[in-house]
Structure 1
Amino acid sequence: YFYYLDRIKKLFTYLNDLRKHVLKKYVYTINHKRIAINYLYFSMVTGLSGAALATMIRLELAHPGSPFFKGDSLRYLQVVTAHGLIMVFFVVVPILFGGFANFLIPYHVGSKDVAYPRLNSIGFWIQPCGYILLAKIGFLRPQFWRYYDKTSFSFPFLEKMKYNQYKEYKNDYLFYLDFLKKEITDDHSFFWKARKVIKLPQYSVFSFVPLKLMMWKTMINYPESFWYAASRVVQSRR
């Protein structure tokens, strides 16, 4: 009994010493070399998370409607935004400016290992906090935050003019059926829908450009005509 109690006591003593060592060596350090190592470790972790988001994006583009997004274009734009900002500001920048610069610049200027200590240490520990806030971008619901303009995809309030075109014919049943068919066949989403059937009469022979793009009325009536045209091209799938 006392043998095992002594072993447990030694284990806790070792863990406590290890905690003090890690805190002193890495967390509380003002040595530029160890701070550079912190930057490199931090970039490894954020790089894995950025690669995971990149995998989600590529799987979605390869198989539209995948389980990650389920056709949600807003969620897709959120993840693209989070992926881009993480890979630039939390992978590349810490490695180049935080890691290599902390190793090389003190040698270049001939300074000591603890030159500019507090600013250097605080500058590193701000980054994990910023990374946590940024990583939440890809998974917030329903408070969307994305780097792209709202006109990158279609919103209902941007299509009111389209409904106004048919208001005077609302009592005409045949015209209403034609309008309903148009609503069903036309998909205004920015996102590639899963297994969308491409019917030959809907497209011109010129590289699968939708015939709708040829209509001057459609282009001139829509206020965000460029993004509207871009979303139409995306619908052609390839």
Structure 2
Amino acid sequence: MTQSALIVTHGSPSDAETQEAALAELAVQVGTLLPGWDVRSATLAAPEKLEQVLDAMDGPLVYPYFMAQGYFTGRILPKRLEPYGLTPMRPFGVDPALLDLVETQLRICLQGQSWQPEDTSLLVAAHGSAVSKRSADAASDFAKTLQNRFGFKEIRTGFVEQEPWLKPAAKGLGQAICLPFFALVAGHMLDDVPEALEEADFAGPVLASFIDWPGTAQIIAAALKATQASQKEAVS
């Protein structure tokens, strides 16, 4: 039987088709790394898309392409998967492999600028949430771990939907790099983050959303393979 997987993210209600297409391309990249697998995608923002895809699949592994184990991954997604007897895997943002990928990209960025960590500040731009504190906690914990690995001059976390707000967090940093803690290139990354950075006179390099990182598909593929192996071992 063909092993199948479904990559799920929130998406954008105001631009559902664009995010559906972006996630579908990510699914293709993951599928290329998993020969013989049937890898598909769905956003929660596209009405009934999740159920339509699930109806056409046979018990796929469900991978949450989210940055935190929060409201949507802890409540909304499990509830919609329950009729199918499925439970979601660990979200992308809490996979330890993401830290290694980010560390590599930050070191490349520092080298490209001829900067040293101890002379450089890091700004983590994140979503935050008025519903669940887990979103902010995930970004803050991620930032603390990066600080332990690098020893930046200063590290700040700013949010677009809660305090501490991104704009004041981005002010007065001088030599600095901005790491957006976002899965997709959606409304916040297209509008809110650039606007806040511009108003704060932030002049440093800004890394891409994770969907545009070359290592993102590898992290997802590795997690799917590990889950498949774990399930086979449990059965045997």
Say whether the fold is shared (TM-score over 0.5): no
Going by fraction, where is strand more abundant, 1 or 2?
2
Scaled to the shorter chain, the TM-score interval is under 0.3
TM-score after normalising by structure 2 = 0.25
Give the structure with higher Rg (CA). Answer: 1
TM-score after normalising by structure 1 = 0.25
Instruction: Select the structure with the greater relative contact order (CA < 8 A; seq sep ≥ 6).
Output: 1
Going by fraction, where is helix more abundant, 1 or 2?
1
